[in-house]
Amino acid sequence: MGLFRRLRRSKARRVCLIGLDCTPHSLLERMMGEGVMPHMAELARNGSLRRMNSVYPWVSSVAWASFMTGQNPARHGIFGFIDRDPATLKTFIPTATHMKSRPLWQILGDAGKRVVVVNVPVTYPPQPVNGVLISCFLSPSLEKAVYPPSLLPKLQELGYRIDPDPWLARESREKAWPDLWDALEKRTKTLLYLLDHEPWDFFMGVIMETDRLHHFWFELMEQNDSVWAPKFFELYRYVDEFIGQVRERLGEADTLMLMSDHGICSIKKEVFYNRWLHDAGYLRYSRPPEEIKGPDLEAMHPDSVAYSLDPGRIFLNLKGRERDGSVEPADYERVREEIAAAAEVLTDPDSGEKLVRRAYRREELYRGPYLEQAADLILAPVDGYDPKGALWKPHFTHKDQAMVGMHTYDDAFLYIADHSLPTDDLSILDAMPTVLQLLDVPLPADLDGCGLIR
């Protein structure tokens, strides 16, 4: 079958890209060295495996949106898993309807390329493509996640699932473990089915279970927990086997790419920046705080100076922009500098460690027509101190027992077969133009990333 596939598909150039959400370069190196990922190790010998930078803030929605557009957030308009309308202070979940730029698959479709795109974050609601698109975990149901809908019965037959249930992991790891495996097995089975049965010029599937594994088990792996560390690597052995099965299906003219969107590290503490803003006198509430749920900004008192949304995004309560804004535009720079300086000296009340590596002004990170939608300050955390966005918490820092992994910026990875990649300063913004290069599709003029094929 392998030879037949190679003969059948040896004509046109194609690209197959598998995303391993949240898989760090450093962990891949370790697992290749320890024999957990033999297929990956073999691939690395015949291609380039590089460390890659993510984007600010390094969460999957922003990172994958930046990947699929090759642009920074001030151009594509996705700044987090949650955003706010300053005029009403209502929060919303950014989806593909908020995306200001055309993703990779639309550009490829225009060029006559057929695409299969599965489980890339921020692809809900599924937009029509030249091919197949199955949306991500922002989809309310499988029925609403699939384009074209005629594919739905087959996905149901395969038992395809949008995402594992993260509430199970909040309850207990024992309960969550079989659910995580079930979702992973069905996802890989479906991806292999689509590889075999759908025509494609560009195939992309993202494995999300690696991210869930890391959030709820990473620290236990690092601590070499006698029960969970072996199970952690068992899951990666399965992922490696899947990568091998994908590779086996590709022909001579096909290029395999693999990538993640950010890295991971163990959480020392969750850090609730709204609690800090409150304690420092910048944030007040218009309701008893214990009644406030999640990021309910409408419970903010009009006298407030600043507020925060996950992860580490700080907005001034600016007059003329925010509903009931209090900060005069003339004071904007002064107040922003004051909060930035105060954030940069914050420390863990228990260990004394610094919490914030740097407080970035938005114009230091982003450039583009939607800069005004960005937070005024973006806090880059010290690894281990996970920024959180709830408007009220009874504590400033907290060690959660369930959530034990947080994202990192500079430890994502990019792999490409049969080509040589630069060794330094790779950005997730470069992956999309690289796909276009490989498929001989002209690069749009307004990209921030650059093609890596020389």
Partner 1 sequence: MTQKGFTLWFTGLSGSGKSTLADLVYDELKHRRGLKVEKLDGDVVRTNLSKGLGFSKEDRDINIRRIGFVCNLLTRNDVIAIASAISPYRAVRDENRALIGPDRFVEVYCEVPLEVAIERDVKGLYQKALNGEIKGFTGVDDPYEPPLNPEVHINSGRETVEESFHKIIAYLEEHGFIEPLGESGYSKEEEEAISAHLEALGYL
Question: Residue 356, interface with partner 1 (CB under 8 A)?
Answer: no
List the one residue out of 46, 17, 26, 186 whose CA is nearest residue 116.
17
Report d(CA 79, CA 202) in Å as an integer. Answer: 27
Near partner 1 in 52-111, by CB under 8 A: 59, 80-82, 92-98, 106, 110
Identify the burial level of 7 via C-beta atoms within 10 angstroms of its C-beta, where 0-12 means exposed, 13-18 middle and 19 or more buried: exposed
Q: Which of residues 215-274 bind partner 1 (CB under 8 A)?
A: 215, 270
**Of the candidates 175, 165, 163, 205, the residue with the CA atom closest to the CA atom of residue 188:** 205
Instruction: Kindly tell me which of 142 and 453 has the beta carbon lying closer to partner 1.
Output: 142
Q: Can residue 166 be called a binding residue for partner 1 (CB under 8 A)?
A: yes
- Closest separation in Å from C-beta 81 to partner 1: 4
Shortest CB 250 distance to partner 1, Å: 30
Q: Are 48 and 411 in contact (CB under 8 A)?
A: no
Residue 6 buriedness (CB in 10 A; 0-12 / 13-18 / 19+): middle
Rounded to 5 degrees, what are φ and ψ at 172?
-165, 145
Using alpha carbons, select from 305, 387, 310 the residue that is nearest to residue 346: 387
Candidate ranges 8-16, 66-74, 143-151, 373-381; the one touching partner 1 (CB under 8 A): 143-151
C-alpha–C-alpha distance, residues 97 and 115, integer Å: 20
138 near partner 1, judged by CB under 8 A: yes
Of 105 and 415, the one with the shorter C-beta distance to partner 1 is: 105
Cβ neighbours for 424, distance < 8 A, ≥ 6 positions apart:
none
Task: Give min distance, CB of 318 to partner 1, in A.
Answer: 21
Helix (H, G, I), strand (E, B) or coil at 362: helix
Report the residue number, 122 or 235, with the smaller CB distance to partner 1: 122
The mark string for 275-314 relative to partner 1 (x by CB under 8 A, - otherwise) is: -------------------xx--------------xx---
For partner 1, the closer CB: 47 or 295: 295
Find the shortest distance in angstroms from Cβ 5 to partner 1. Answer: 31
DSSP 294: T
Residue 259's nearest CA partner among 119, 428, 117 is 428
Amino acid at 255: T
* Closest by CA position to 431, among listed 46, 69, 5, 37: 69
Please select the residue that binds partner 1; options are 30, 34, 143, 279, rule is CB under 8 A: 143
Q: Residue 342: which H helix or E strand, with range? A: helix 332-344
Q: What are the backbone dihedrals phi and psi of residue 48, each rounded to the nearest 5 degrees, phi first? A: -115, 125
- How far apart are CB 55 and partner 1 at their closest, in Å? 16
Q: How far is the CB of 388 from partner 1 (least distance, A)?
A: 7
Q: Which is nearer to partner 1, 80 or 325 (CB)?
A: 80
The encoded tokens of residue 45 equal: 């010998």
Out of 58, 79, 105, 124, which residue is the one contacting partner 1 (CB under 8 A)? Answer: 124
Binding characters for partner 1, 384-423, by CB under 8 A (x = yes): --x-xxx------------x--------------------
Residue 99 C-beta: closest distance to partner 1, Å: 11
**Residues in contact with partner 1 by the rule CB under 8 A:** 59, 80-82, 92-98, 106, 110, 124-125, 127-128, 137-138, 140, 143-144, 147-149, 152, 163, 165-167, 169-170, 212, 215, 270, 294-295, 310-311, 386, 388-390, 403
